Amino acid sequence: MSAILVSVVRGFGQFYGLLIVIYVLMSWFPMRGVLYDVYRVIGTLVEPYLGLFRRIIPLIGAVDISPIVAYFVLQLIVDGVLMLLQGGL
């Protein structure tokens, strides 16, 4: 049971992190049609999480570094949960 839960948590962390990266990369390019729909769907999944960091971290010039911080915090959270699940601390 624990091995399955570890795999699920690790998989979720990797998938959600990938969604953040894809969302940021897609925001750099103009989109129409189906690509815009995909961008909106991904945005509905990641914007609530990214919004937490955007409220705290100011822009540096015109650069938004909050997705980078959000990605690394996600990895720290996933690693912490995995340590707890595996019984280590």
What are the pLDDT digits (tens) for 19-63? 999 999 999 999 899 999 999 999 999 999 999 999 999 999 989
Quote the pLDDT of residue 85: 87
Chain CA centroid to CA 5, Å? 20
* pLDDT of 89 above 60: no
Question: What confidence tens digit (pLDDT) does each residue in 67-85 have?
Answer: 999 999 999 999 999 999 8
Q: Which residue shows structure tokens 């570094």?
A: 65
> Dihedrals φ, ψ of 63, to 5°?
-100, 130
Q: Which two tokens stand for residue 56?
A: 């705290």
Q: Tell me how many degrees the CA angle 61-35-75 measures, rounded to the nearest 5.
A: 55
pLDDT at 82: 93
CA distances from 49 to 21, 25, 36 (A): 13, 17, 20
Answer yes or no: is pLDDT of 1 > 70: no
